[in-house]
Structure 1
């Protein structure tokens, strides 16, 4: 499949390269970046994740794209679409997600990249709905979800099936964005 390249005013969403592995490992090892995940990742775990993401993009033509700052070419993380690999009340679904290096926080990059990914999901893939979820403690990601037009209903909240019950991160919020709401915004 042809590589997808999505450009925004300040960012490029693209396929992964070997040059992304070192900065990706650094952000995955950062305890602050990973505070809403069960643990930071080792270099081996990070490289394996990047490999799975790259393979998914190669197979499907879309996925969690590498994000770079257009003016510098600097890799700052990922944003894109994925299919949750677990079963719960809202699956099957397509999820939008992001993870950015701490030095890229506070510039609106997550929101800008997420809006571009939504455009691809609704405009190219013809999805009917896109969801996003995170631990209830992750206020920063929930703020991005609201900025991109997603809605939360407490009745959709769930215990993540891959996190031990009672763990501080087990309870998750679910946000939804139906295509009609996206079109109207």
Structure 2
């Protein structure tokens, strides 16, 4: 799975991506809406290996996002099968994480829209979900820009997050293939 946008390449992970992605995953601000919070270099390496296995098994996955102008790894984004913590599965989810220097430049919207287009046109998916903690307003805003919608009756507690943690309450977003071109 490889996707090209005007400014970005979404591609399988390479060895050279581990160090910059580990820096992003070690930033408490980047990971403030994730549980567990920051990741070690080894945990990042394991995450990337898991992404590669998922891509090999399913033909889609969470990919490295590279900026065309300078080859910088700016983050990760893609599709994956959602875990059992999401009610009503199985689902294919879209997700992203970008290093802080690349925030607020439209990269996440550009890459996400291209990824959804790939989900409809190449993978033939009927629906993609997204989910995040209720307090993650930046990701929720991006899901809205993509045309994803939530239904309060589908909100859920993420059982992988301890009770009492403010990241436990989650909001589920959906987008159907008929709404496949949300930002053109």
TM-score range (shorter-chain normalised) is over 0.9
TM-score of the superposed pair, with normalisation by structure 1: 0.94
Q: Is the 8 A contact 1:67 1:78 kept in 2?
A: yes
CA distance in 1, matches of 2:140, 2:151: 12
CA distance in 2, matches of 1:79, 1:112: 11
The yes-or-no answer on 1:30 pairing with 2:27 is: yes
Aligned to 2:66, the other structure's residue is in SS state strand
Equivalent residue in structure 2 for 1:177, among 155, 158, 175? 175
Aligned length: 182
Q: CA deviation at 1:56?
A: 1.4
Structure 1 residue aligned with 2:143: 145
Q: CA deviation at 1:51?
A: 0.8
Q: Is the 8 A contact 2:113 2:182 kept in 1?
A: no
TM-score of the superposed pair, with normalisation by structure 2: 0.94
Q: Is the 8 A contact 2:2 2:9 kept in 1?
A: yes
Q: CA deviation at 1:181?
A: 2.3
4+ aligned runs moved over 2 Å, structure 1: 58-61, 87-90, 181-185
Structure 2 residue aligned with 1:15: 12
CA distance in 1, matches of 2:67, 2:86: 35
Map Cα deviations across residues 59-103 of structure 1 (whole Å, 9 max, x no partner).
322101100101111101111100112244231100000000000
The yes-or-no answer on 1:162 pairing with 2:160 is: yes
Where structure 1 has 5 or more consecutive residues not aligned to the other structure, the ranges are none
Aligned to 1:25, the other structure's residue is in SS state helix
Distance 1:24 1:87, change over 3 A: same
